[in-house]
Structure 1
Amino acid sequence: MSKVSYYTPEGLKKLRDELNQLKDIERPKASQAIADARDKGDLSENAEYDAAKEAQGMLEMKISKMEETLANARIIDESQLDTSKVLVLSKVKIKNQTNGMEMNYTLVAESEADLASGKISVNSPIGKGLLGKSVGDVAEIKVPSGVMKFDIVEISR
């Protein structure tokens, strides 16, 4: 059974656009590469044909996975989310108890995560550790180097 993934409207649109790119542009290119390789002669000794068939198989697998993800995708209605606890799409301001550094993160679905823009996955160690916490709580997050403690300073949308 597949798991449900939650997306923002923008994230879902990006996923659909990527799938359309694979289906409408990459798939015909793969078919053409196979046809070109087939025209070059004996298939039993044609490495180009084997490579093209392998590439097509990988492309079809990627398309299949994306279609499954889209079938299980749900859009999050931000207006219905509770701001008293950290949830998906929460903007969280946390303070590291060790060094006093403050950080701002937005918790998003795994496919939308982008650390450079402050978006972390709810499936990441920090994301999992923050989920369900309220302002004033201390999140103890197990990371490879030990346990980090963060104060939850602010939660917003």
Structure 2
Amino acid sequence: MSQTAMKTPALPRLVLGAEDHGKLTTMANGISGPMAAVADQLMTELDRARVVAQGKLPDDAVRMGSVVSFTTTDGFDRTFQLVFPGEADISSGKVSVLTPIGAALIGLREGQSIPWTSRDGRKLTLTVVNVRPGD
């Protein structure tokens, strides 16, 4: 397929609270080594996000601590809480923002979709179904 025939889907608009944005930017800027690629992915998302006062963040926007239900085009249907790396525990449903899926989720709102590359290199689309506050 020619490059003109392959259309890249438009990226969704992201919204982040100023507090989360600041913490995540500081964290991502301090990452090197094996996690650098995911930190770069996270920085790309942070750079394009609209930053609002934390208290003005819409209830359906994915923020740190949010419990997010989502689907992917390969039928993956999960609910995770988005957390900082030190709190991650996949067996407890807590996924780090410094994973490809975590970096893709931050700042999305219910109903939004984003192109996402899985750890095994497959090109998928991730769609947020529900966002609620964490426990």
Q: TM-score, normalised by structure 1?
A: 0.46
- Residue 112 of structure 2 is aligned to residue 152 of structure 1: no
Q: 2:112 maps to what in 1?
A: 137
Is the Cα contact below 8 Å between 2:60 and 2:130 reproduced in 1?
Answer: no
Q: SS of 1:132's equivalent?
A: coil
Is the partner of 1:135 in helix, strand or coil?
coil
Moved over 6 A (4+): none
Q: Deviations over 1:50-102 (max 9, x none)?
A: xxxxxxxxxxxxxxxxxxxxxxxxxxxxx956422111001000012222x32
Q: Residue 146 of structure 1: CA displacement?
A: 2.4
Question: Contact between 1:83 and 1:90, CA under 8 Å: does it hold in 2?
Answer: no
Whole-angstrom CA distance in 1 between matches of 2:70 and 2:23: 28
Matched, 1:89 2:48: no
Q: Which has the higher contact order (CA 8 A, sep 6+)?
A: 2
- Distance in 1, matches of 2:83 and 2:67, equals 10
Superposed, 1:1-20 pairs within 5 Å as 4=23
> How many residues are treated as equivalent by the alignment?
81
Residue of structure 2 equivalent to 1:102: 77
Q: Secondary structure at the match of 1:83?
A: coil
Amino acid aligned to 2:87: E
Cα displacement string for residues 88-133 of structure 1 (whole angstroms, at most 9, x for unaligned residues):
001000012222x320000001000000111000111100001111
Structure number with bigger Rg? 1
Q: More helix by proportion, 1 or 2?
A: 1
AA of the residue aligned to 1:148? L
Q: Is the 8 A contact 1:94 1:152 kept in 2?
A: yes
For residues 105 and 139 of structure 1, the distance between their equivalents in structure 2, rounded to whole angstroms, comes to 17
In structure 2, the gaps of 5 or more residues are 1-21, 25-53
SS of match in other structure, 2:79: strand
Does the residue aligned with 1:126 lie in a helix, a strand or coil?
helix
Determine what percentage of the aligned residue pairs are the same residue.
26
What RMSD, in angstroms, separates the aligned Cα atoms of the two structures?
2.2
1:24-62 deviations in Å (ceiling 9; x for gaps): xxxxxxxxxxxxxxxxxxxxxxxxxxxxxxxxxxxxxxx
| Structure 1: stretches of 5+ with no match in the other structure | 6-78
Amino acid at match of 1:109: F
Q: How far does the alpha carbon of each residue in 1:6-40 deviate from its partner, in whole angstroms, 9 at most, with x for none?
A: xxxxxxxxxxxxxxxxxxxxxxxxxxxxxxxxxxx
